[in-house]
């Protein structure tokens, strides 16, 4: 957005310039005059006080030399006739070290408070010093180059202050008069200068308001204003021509707009038909995607069934073998008993072997029962999204037990960090499916080409939420697909059996089934971390 520059009016410039110039000139002139007057008055007072000091020294010298103080007081009448005199002190030297004593003191106004002795200020006051209301001065009294004393005079300068105040008042009145005269002159100049420009401004405003650029500006009395008027007339002529062209162009634009509107209507109808076809196709794609997701679930369940079947087959096979051995030994004992050749040692060994075989059969049947029970829970949970109360650590154990056929031959370690007896009310089915998909995703993609790997699953309740942190130290996720890893059909195993729906299924289960959130953090070559949060009771 362009910066708006401040504008100045001619009236304001005239007023400020003329008033400022006149006022400044008046103030400077009066300041110089006042300072010169004050300087002259000060010089005059200095000359006077030195003159009276000399006169008084001459009259008092003989009295001072002869120490005739009383005679001096009786005959010393001159101070009464010195104008503006306040005090006189005459100090007498009493020894060669010029120690002084007050010899004579005079105070004109007996009501006035006295002053202290000035004998200690002699060096400072041998030059006249101006104070706020008086002037003071000390002059040495010498006889044949020998100082016999000092005379101190103090004169009032209040009359100078009064004169200065009168001058300031007069100066203020003069400045005010100059200020008013300057305002009058500025207003007159502004009226003569701005009148032509105001006329031009009114003409332009009327033309702009009425959109009538056929009128012309009149000739102006000033050259600058006349040049501006001629240029405005040229601008009006061009504007009139431009408006005519715009009217023609507007008419053509209306015709083109009508033609374009007809084309748009036809295209809109065609677009509606295309959109309808796209919506139909999109609906089919959603159905196909749902089918693929369900297929992914069933494929995962099928792998689990195959693994559990293989895992159950081992304890059952051991049980069958043990029962067969037990049957064979039982036949041997029966034959020996029938033939009356049965020995006590033979019977004892049969009982020992029988106990061992029965223990083997019992242990393996229990193992098969546990596997079938875990598989049943996992299978039921995967096919159901109902809420129920369950132990999270027990759920993790059942998931790992179900995946043991796929994991037991692989060199990977899974660490579980979950509080004991962590009972929550949630949907175990989606959680089960999420964990299975994440573990298989790490094994297939994260640990590809690696002969070792570690997966850690950390579960922690946070207020009314459950936090699951799934981490592996695998290959990590490439930056090019990190931002779309939860989108459907995103896979690095395309053409190698990868559907690209594993993490998409995890994302849907977390966000839709559990109403939570999922965040992926990964750096290529440094593993991956997936943090899941969802509400629980």
Look at 464 and 281; give whichever has higher pLDDT: 464
Nearest to 407 by CA among 449, 379, 442: 442
* Inter-residue contact 85 to 152 (CB < 8 Å): no
CATH of the domain at 101: 3.30.450
Give residue-wise pLDDT tens across range 214-224: 777 777 776 77
CATH of the domain at 462: 3.30.565.10
Q: Which pLDDT does position 460 carry in this prediction?
A: 93
393 inside domain: yes
Residue that is last in its domain, among 151, 179, 207: 179
Q: In sequence order, which residues have a C-beta less than 8 Å from that of residue 249 and are 6 or more positions away?
A: none
Residue that is last in its domain, among 143, 160, 179: 179
Q: Which pLDDT does position 244 carry in this prediction?
A: 78
Domain span holding position 323: 310-535
Q: Which pLDDT does position 454 carry in this prediction?
A: 92
pTM, two decimals, is 0.37
Q: CA 62 to CA 251: how far, in whole Å?
A: 122
70 inside domain: yes
408 inside domain: yes
What letter does residue 509 receive in the DSSP assignment?
A: I
Give residue-wise pLDDT tens across range 522-532: 888 888 999 99
303 inside domain: no
473 inside domain: yes
* Inter-residue contact 231 to 216 (CB < 8 Å): no
187 inside domain: no
72 inside domain: yes
277 inside domain: no
Instruction: Tell whether 17 and 157 lie within a shared domain.
Output: yes
* Inter-residue contact 94 to 119 (CB < 8 Å): no
Overall number of domains in the chain: 2
Residue that is last in its domain, among 163, 179, 195: 179
Least-confidence region, from 43-57, 183-197, 368-382: 368-382
Averaged pLDDT of the chain: 78
- Sheet of 412-417: strands edge to edge? 412-417, 453-462, 465-472, 528-535, 517-522
């Amino acid at each position: 957005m362009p910066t708006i520059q401040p504008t100045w009016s001619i009236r304001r410039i005239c007023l400020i310039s003329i008033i400022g110039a006149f006022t400044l000139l008046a103030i400077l002139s009066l300041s110089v005059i006042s300072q010169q007057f004050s300087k002259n008055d000060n010089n005059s007072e200095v000359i006077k006080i030195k003159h009276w000091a000399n006169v008084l020294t001459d009259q008092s010298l003989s009295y001072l030399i002869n120490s005739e103080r009383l005679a001096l007081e009786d005959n010393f009448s001159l101070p009464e006739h010195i104008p503006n005199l306040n005090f006189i002190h005459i100090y007498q030297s009493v020894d060669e070290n010029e120690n002084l004593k007050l010899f004579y003191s005079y105070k004109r106004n007996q009501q006035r408070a006295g002053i202290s002795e000035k004998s200690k200020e002699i060096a400072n006051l041998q030059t006249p010093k101006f104070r706020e209301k008086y002037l003071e001065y000390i002059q040495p009294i010498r006889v044949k180059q020998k100082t016999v004393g000092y005379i101190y005079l103090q004169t009032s300068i209040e009359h100078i202050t009064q004169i200065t105040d009168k001058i300031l008042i007069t100066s203020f009145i003069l400045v005010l008069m100059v200020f008013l005269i300057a305002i009058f002159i500025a207003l007159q100049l502004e009226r003569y200068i701005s009148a032509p420009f105001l006329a031009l401004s009114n003409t332009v405003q009327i033309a702009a308001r009425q959109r009538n650029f056929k009128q012309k500006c009149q000739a102006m009395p000033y050259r600058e204003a006349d040049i501006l008027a001629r240029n405005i007339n040229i601008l009006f002529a061009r504007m009139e021509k431009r408006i005519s062209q715009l009217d023609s162009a507007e008419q053509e634009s209306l015709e083109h707009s009508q033609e374009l509107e007809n084309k748009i209507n036809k295209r809109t109808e065609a677009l509606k038909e295309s959109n309808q076809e796209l919506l139909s196709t999109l609906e089919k794609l959603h159905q196909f995607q749902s089918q693929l997701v369900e297929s992914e679930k069933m494929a995962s369940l099928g792998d689990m069934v195959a693994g559990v079947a293989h895992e159950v087959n081992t304890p059952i096979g051991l049980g069958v073998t043990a029962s067969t051995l037990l049957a064979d030994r039982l036949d041997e004992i029966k034959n020996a008993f029938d033939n009356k050749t049965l020995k006590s040692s033979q019977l004892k060994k049969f009982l020992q072997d029988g106990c061992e075989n029965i223990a083997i059969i019992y242990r393996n049947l229990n193992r098969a029962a546990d596997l079938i029970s875990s598989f049943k829970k996992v299978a039921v949970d995967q096919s159901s999204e109902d809420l129920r109360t369950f132990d999270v650590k027990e759920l993790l154990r059942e998931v790992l037990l179900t995946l043991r056929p796929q994991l037991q031959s692989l060199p990977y370690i899974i660490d579980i960090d979950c509080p004991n007896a962590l009972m929550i009310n949630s949907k175990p089915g989606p959680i089960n499916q999420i964990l299975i998909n994440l573990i298989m995703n790490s094994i297939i993609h994260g640990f590809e080409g690696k002969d070792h790997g570690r997966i850690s699953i950390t579960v922690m309740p946070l207020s009314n939420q459950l936090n699951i942190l799934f981490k592996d130290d695998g290959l990590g996720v490439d930056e090019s697909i990190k931002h779309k890893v939860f989108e459907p059909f995103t896979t690095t195993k395309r053409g190698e059996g990868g559907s690209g729906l594993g993490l998409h299924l995890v994302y849907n289960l977390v966000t839709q089934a559990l109403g939570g959130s999922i965040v992926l953090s990964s750096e290529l070559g440094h593993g991956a971390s997936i943090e899941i949060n969802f509400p629980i009771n």
